[in-house]
Amino acid sequence: MALRMAVLLSGGGTTLQNLIDHIQAGDLAAEVACVIGSREKAFGLERARNHHIPAIAVIPRNYPDNAAFNAALWNEVRKYSPGLVVLAGFMSLLTVPEDFRHRIMNVHPALIPAFCGKGMYGHHVHEAVLAYGAKLSGATVHFVDEEYDSGPIVMQASVPVLEGDTPDTLAERVQAKEREIFPKAIQLFAEGRLRVEGRIVRVR
Ligand code: GAR
């Protein structure tokens, strides 16, 4: 049976679209059971609806605090009984219920543990890489724990930082790697080939 995924996002949803494309191409044995957006206008919700995927907005500012927001969010997620929760450009801090430990995956646009943590998302990451003068960047797929970008690493791929790069040109190169490794990592999960030992992820 295909892996059921709940996809959480806050923005344009190109990451979601890539997963849908891989499912349709037959190289990702999964289905998107629902998409939950933390912004009403997130275009990712529209993409989901275009593919007849249930799409719901759960907005942080509608709740008194992060705990109440997370309670509402997980209540929605659980309705769809996903095997894996996928963060696809999701910009709010999640709590991790015990039964979802090592069942939430995120893609980050840098080589963790560099250029990650609170405030390091989207273009901020690429600006920081360029300002630091790093010669390599890349993409990281990791399991999610209670802190930003700190859970066990599943897969990484590097790209060169080139002379004359702007945040946009670097983002483009990094996102091409994200589009490669995120579906691969999820497919390994779907095949039951990932085992987490402490913070080390073993691939069988
Ligand atoms: C992706 O590039 C992803 O790496 C980044 O947000 C973008 C989402 O794009 N995620 C983070 O920075 C997480 N810390 P999308 O909304 O078009 O899928």
**Per-residue pLDDT of the chain in tens (204 residues, 90 and over written 9):** 799 999 999 999 999 999 999 999 999 999 999 999 999 999 999 999 999 999 999 999 999 999 999 999 999 999 999 999 999 999 998 999 999 999 999 999 999 999 999 999 999 999 999 999 999 999 999 999 999 999 999 999 999 999 999 999 999 999 999 999 999 999 999 999 999 999 999 999
Q: How far apart are alpha carbons 20 and 27 in whole angstroms?
A: 10
Ligand 1 binding pocket mutation candidate from 9, 10, 94, 107 (most atoms within 8 A of CB): 107
Beta-carbon contacts of 121 under 8 Å, excluding residues fewer than 6 positions away, are 91
- At 1 the pLDDT is 78
- At 95 the pLDDT is 95
Q: How far apart are alpha carbons 195 and 101 in whole angstroms?
A: 12
Q: How far apart are alpha carbons 36 and 54 in whole angstroms?
A: 8
Pocket of ligand 1 (CB under 6 A): 9, 11-15, 44, 88-89, 107-109, 121-122, 125, 175, 178
3-state secondary structure at position 172: helix
Instruction: Find the farthest-apart pair of alpha carbons in the chain and give their distance in angstroms, rounded.
Output: 48
- At 12 the pLDDT is 96
- At 93 the pLDDT is 87
Let me know: does 83 contact 5? Beta carbons within 8 Å. Answer: yes
Closest C-alpha to ligand 1, atom 14: 121
Q: Is 108 a catalytic residue?
A: yes
Q: What are the structural domains of the chain?
A: 1-100 (3.40.50.170), 107-204 (3.40.50.170)
Closest C-alpha to ligand 1, atom 7: 89
Determine the atom of ligand 1 nearest the C-alpha atom of 90. Answer: 13
In terms of pTM, does the model score above 0.85?
yes
Residue of 22, 51, 52, 108 with catalytic role: 108
| 27 CA from centroid of ligand 1 (Å) | 22
Tokens for 187?
């497919």
| DSSP H/E element including 17 | helix 14-25
Burial of 103 (0-12, 13-18, 19+ CB in 10 A): middle
